[in-house]
Amino acid sequence: MNKHKIAIIGSGPAGYSAAIYTSRAEIETVIYAGKEPGGQLTKTTEIENYPGGLGLTGPELMAKMGEQASKFGAVIKWEEAEDLDKLREEYDGVIIATGASPRLMGVGEEKYYGKGFSTCAVCDAAFYKGKTVYVVGGGDAAIEDTMALTKFASQVTLLVRRDELRASKAMQKKVLDNPEVKIMWETELVGIKGDERVEKLELRIKNQELREVKAEGLFFAIGHIPATKWLEGSGVELDKKGYIKNGVVGGVSWAKGYPTMTAIPGVVAAGDCVDYRYRQAVTAAGMGVMAALDMEKWLESK
């Protein structure tokens, strides 16, 4: 019997975990590692919340995942995949694990990644014990991040660009009457200062007054952008924000028995390009494994 051959698009925790499973199942596996090999974890420093990852940095953990996939025969191509139709002609199945990027503001934040700036409070809050921190955003994620930070930081301020929050009423309640949280309305972050780490933020209040505040931490929770633009018009169904619809998120099971299957048979999807809610390396890895197992079962059924 000829070996089945599949493509995995993406090299974050979802893609590599899927690859470890498919290659161990003796499915010929080619990974298209993409523009940012290793995904979002390559932008973090210490890892505390990936089981077994303590003591590693984000880039080290991702390198280990890549090595593990390669050890079992997965081939990594350092290129992007752009055309799903072509992939489907070339391969028996496709696993999409292209991830998402946190939305940024372009106020110089990238230089402070891991040095006072983070886009994941759930991951990094514990590093901010006793510190003065600011969160930018107004949606559910911003509230969740603010609440996560109140457990550690001495002062948490939420910077909201409008005079109201976008978050659900239930989530809003958690911060509106909370004495531990200060909210600055109609406040825009316009600059960041600090030699090695974040030290000060420049804020514009109500479109006029500029104010400089001392800060030891800055968190963005202004949404994510799933890397799915290349799938528009491909037949893979996307929601209005561009996240891929599969049976795991959204509760829709397109193909009975294959929860990670997209609207196209033989194309499964996993990780942050599907999941706007949990967005953790470990949940992405878990969904990657689900996608690999679904793929294996689907290939066997053909």
Cα distance from N-terminal residue to C-terminal residue, the chain: 13
Which of the residues are catalytic?
120, 123-124
Give whichever of 95 and 249 is closer to ligand NDP, judged by the CB atom.
249
Residues 6+ apart with CB under 8 A from 147: 174, 175
Give whichever of 37 and 137 is closer to ligand NDP, judged by the CB atom.
137
Query: By the 8 A CB rule, do 19 and 69 touch?
Result: yes
CA distance 194 to 199: 5
- Look up residue 41 and give its two tokens: 């974890």
At its nearest, how many Å lie between ligand NDP and the CB of residue 211? 16
Q: In this chain, which residue has its C-beta nearest to ligand NDP? A: 139
How many residues can be counted in the chain? 302
Chain residues in the site for ligand NDP (CB under 6 A): 103, 105, 136-142, 144, 161-162, 166, 221-223, 276-277
Query: By the 8 A CB rule, do 84 and 234 touch?
Result: yes
Give whichever of 103 and 115 is closer to ligand NDP, judged by the CB atom.
103
Give whichever of 71 and 277 is closer to ligand NDP, judged by the CB atom.
277
Strand ranges across the sheet with 75-77: 75-77, 28-32, 5-9, 93-96, 267-269
Give whichever of 43 and 279 is closer to ligand NDP, judged by the CB atom.
279
Query: By the 8 A CB rule, do 246 and 259 touch?
Result: yes
Task: Please name the helix (run of DSSP H) or strand (run of DSSP E) that holds residue 136, with its range, or none.
Answer: strand 132-136
Query: By the 8 A CB rule, do 247 and 262 touch?
Result: no
